[in-house]
Structure 1
């Protein structure tokens, strides 16, 4: 991602946090920057390791609290993987596929799932809210027996 696009996303996230009546702190900025810098979903430990060199004053428990707060505000979403929560940015609509065997994760663009949600709503009478769907299955490698 280009630096300008990442800064634009950071600004939008900061504005959202403030619009929710929350403070924007150095720790929040560092955590969001770490998550914006990757397409992966990161554990608390991975986020802490990424920000540690630049922000040694931010300890692991602070990273954990920041991530939980950002998840409550729907700024990040949480994926559970083999007992370890992993966090990713929720500022762009998407869903997830997770391999039940190896834990590999892949993002699914929201527009791919939208027709299925529309059909599910018609069939059930439910109105589905924005959020992230996690589909579990086997990745290509595990399906082929090479994973």
Structure 2
């Protein structure tokens, strides 16, 4: 399996998420016994439609355009749900959220549970903030082997690499 990189969640940057993508997310949640409520759907729409990772308060500001009474706990609960369902990832270094690069591309009978477990790493540009999700099973395997050798049992691992994206490096 070759590593793949996507600089956007499941859609090209700047492209508004389609209702079909959001419907696939709702169907994925339903197959797992969960519900993508209207609020969760709207938060997912905002994350998927962003061209870079969004923090919770930036999401709250955008959400208030359609839900004046939205409050931080509302956004945090929706984000927690979306992370648990594997539809978005938290980029720890940025304390922000991005859509999963392949969560909505799974066949209906894939059988994966909530929080689709695939290796993911993030490449974060120090200059422009562009964030690319890279899914390289070799990196995950190396981490798992190193943890096992140390007698460590990992719960989850997120690799975040800081540097310059191709555009900034060429400038």
TM-based fold match above 0.5? yes
Q: Deviations over 1:52-72 (max 9, x none)?
A: 111113222101111012111
The root-mean-square deviation of aligned C-alpha atoms, in Å, is 3.4
Match for residue 161 of structure 2 among 98, 120, 136: 136
Question: Could you list the runs of 4 or more consecutive aligned residues of structure 1 that deviate by over 4 angstroms after TM superposition?
Answer: 116-121
1:48 alignment counterpart? 60
1:71-97 Cα offsets, whole Å, 9 max, x none, are 112121111125xx2111115266411
Q: Secondary structure at the match of 2:92?
A: strand
Distance 1:32 1:19 in 2: 18
1:79-132 CA-to-partner distances (Å, cap 9, x unmatched) read 1125xx211111526641125x6683421454xx45x449849x88x9xxxx98
**Separation of aligned partners in 2, 1:102 and 1:118:** 27
What residue number does 2:132 align with?
A: 107
1:69 matched to which residue of 2? 81
Give unpaired runs (5+ residues) of structure 2. Answer: 1-11, 104-119, 149-155
Alpha-carbon offset, residue 24 of structure 1: 2.4
Among 87, 102, 126, the alignment partner of 1:92 is: 102
After superposing the two structures, state which structure 1 stretch, 41-50 or 17-26, moved more: 17-26
TM-score w.r.t. the length of structure 1 is: 0.68
Equivalent residue pairs, number: 131
Structure with more relative contact order (C-alpha pairs < 8 Å, separation 6 or more) = 2
| TM-score in terms of structure 2 length | 0.60
Q: Is the Cα–Cα contact under 8 Å of residues 6 and 36 in structure 1 kept in the other structure?
A: no
